[in-house]
Amino acid sequence: MTRIPLETALDELIEHKKRMGRISMRHMFSSDADRFKTFSASACDILIDYSKNRVDTDVMSSLFALARSSSVEEKRNAMWAGERINSTENRAVLHMALRYQGDKPVKFDGRDVMGDVRQVLGVIREFSENVRNGTITGSSGEKITDIVNIGIGGSDLGPAMVTRALSPFGRKDLRVHFVSNVDGADIADTLAGLNPARTLFIIASKTFTTDETMTNAASARQWLADKLGEGAVIAHFVAVSTNIAACINFGINENRIFGFWDWVGGRYSVWSSIGLPVALAIGYENFTAFLAGAAEMDRHFLETALESNLPVILALLGVWHRNVWGFSTQAILPYDQRLARFPAYLQQLDMESNGKSTQLDGSAATLGTGPIVWGEPGTNGQHAFYQLIHQGTDIIPCDFLLAANPQEDMSPHHAKLVANCFAQSQALMLGKTIDEVRAELVADGLSVEQTEQLAPHKVFPGNRPSTTLLYRQLDPATLGKLIALYEHKTFVQGVIWNINSFDQWGVELGKQLAKNLLPAVQNKTARRKAANDASTEGLLSSYRRFQEKQGK
């Protein structure tokens, strides 16, 4: 199919916007008793209610046509076929193979990768089970009680988020900690109070050269060697890496190096050996349920018509908001405390994938691409930024996430949580008119003058879009489905925007400049590789003055 430029497709969508702009969502619901049924979809035990968006059947038809004209189906199939769709790095994108449950080959360059994938999974299973049952111990024979994962980016955020989300499936006698920031406070606070004889470190770095990770790894190694002796290092460190020689040189046993592949991007890697801390925390059986849940969503994405395809629907709503209505941000609002890190996880997934201004052919993007993604759990956020969401000058599309069944049996907590979640999306849709406010104030006994002074401040404009994702319970399989859902949503949007969602060149420049600046930061007499701008020079001078005052 010939690709139709997004700009061309937007002409029709902009006409839809003009029409929808004259209709309130209140009216849409009052005039259509079947609106929820028409604009909701279910699959994989997840319900998506997108009826509280300013869409109708004509809008959705045009959006699905846009997806087809953008070759979403063809690109989807090319990804699964192992084609090198990551064009700027000449790589395939096969994270779906990491959780594939079928028996058909998954090929890359003509070779089935599933043998390698399942071999690594087998090693993860053996190692995680042996740590959990006490077969693998520390150097003095003591059982491992604390695991410290040292990584950054996808090597940290994915397993950290998943481990926290699935904490009910963990064990109190096996704690998992995560260190990512090169700020020494991160590793110092983590190591404080740990027993080195009972601590296992996982160093997660594909190249084993990532600066932040290796700096933290060196500090952890020194801490352990100081406490237990140099000979203990080999019993307390494992690595997730492809650089075998560097791992061995660090002091890691070759049998404790877990590999993965260059067709796995960092932010898509929690399904691989990067997920080792997850398997250790919740057990391999639960880890496989996590993989199986994602695989179920993969099948849905690969096999379901666009009109009923959950990731496609979410993606198209995002394009509608970003490119037609001009909304530049997206709030992720889990009414599920254990998903506290899920918004941050999706920040990386979405903003590192689609935060691009260059199209696949090298030309500049002429339309907005990835939105700003942010959020916090409800109900905490209601007492913070919901003021802006409801009455601010910027409209912020919201995704609400909610489990129908909690892990805890603590009435009335969950009922109140559910009521708040449903009420927030209802309030965003309905708003409150000036007449409704006046009637309430008068009923409360305010005078006419008081009512007129206060009423404008209590008006809610409404017509603010939100989508609610309702699922049975937050368990390993469901979390796998949710992550895969948003992975595929991000991919679909990248296809429509004609960008490469799988590189991340934008993280490189700051790293390069940091290396150039480090000698000047460490030593004021160091020779500069290049002249700095006046601001940077001023900051370096001020930094030294503050250090001198501290006696350094």
High-pLDDT (> 90) share of the chain, %? 92
Tell me the C-alpha distance between 341 and 334, whole Å: 10
pLDDT at 427 over 60: yes
The residue length of the chain stands at 552
Q: Residue ranges per domain, the chain?
A: 6-69+304-430+464-503, 107-289, 506-549
- Give 6's pLDDT tier (boundaries 50, 70, 90): confident
Which of 72-81, 108-117, 522-531 has the least mean pLDDT?
Answer: 522-531
How does residue 1 score in pLDDT terms, banded at 50, 70 and 90? low
- In one-letter notation, the amino acid at residue 459 is V
Lowest mean pLDDT among 6-10, 397-401, 433-437: 6-10
Nearest-angstrom CA–CA distance, 106 and 82: 8
* Token digits of residue 185: 């406070």
DSSP string, 396-429: --EEEEEEEE-SS--TTHHHHHHHHHHHHHHHHH
Closest to 327 in 3D by CA, of 468, 466, 488, 500: 466
Residue-wise pLDDT for 116-174, tens only, equals 999 999 999 999 999 999 999 999 999 999 999 999 999 999 999 999 999 999 999 99
Q: 223: buried, middle or exposed (CB in 10 Å: 19+, 13-18, 0-12)?
A: middle
Q: How far, in Å, CA of 385 to CA of 237, rounded?
A: 42
Q: Which of 169-183, 510-524, 535-549 has the highest mean pLDDT?
A: 169-183
Q: Give the pairing type, strands 111-112 and 107-108.
A: antiparallel
Using DSSP, state whether 473 is helix, strand or coil.
strand
Q: How many CA atoms lie within 13 A of 189 on its CB side?
A: 10
Name the DSSP class of 104.
Answer: S
CATH 3.30.750.24 fits 6-69+304-430+464-503, yes or no: no
Assess whether the region 6-69+304-430+464-503 and the region 107-289 belong to the same CATH fold.
Answer: yes
Residue-wise pLDDT tens digits, 168-225:
999 999 999 999 999 999 999 999 989 999 999 999 999 999 999 999 999 999 999 9
Q: Is 107-289 CATH 3.40.50.10490?
A: yes
Band the pLDDT of 504: cuts 50, 70, 90.
very high
Cα–Cα distance, 139 to 199 (Å, whole number):
10
Catalytic residues: 352, 383, 511
Q: What are the DSSP E strand ranges found in 248-316?
A: 257-258
370-379 pLDDT tens trace: 999 999 999 9
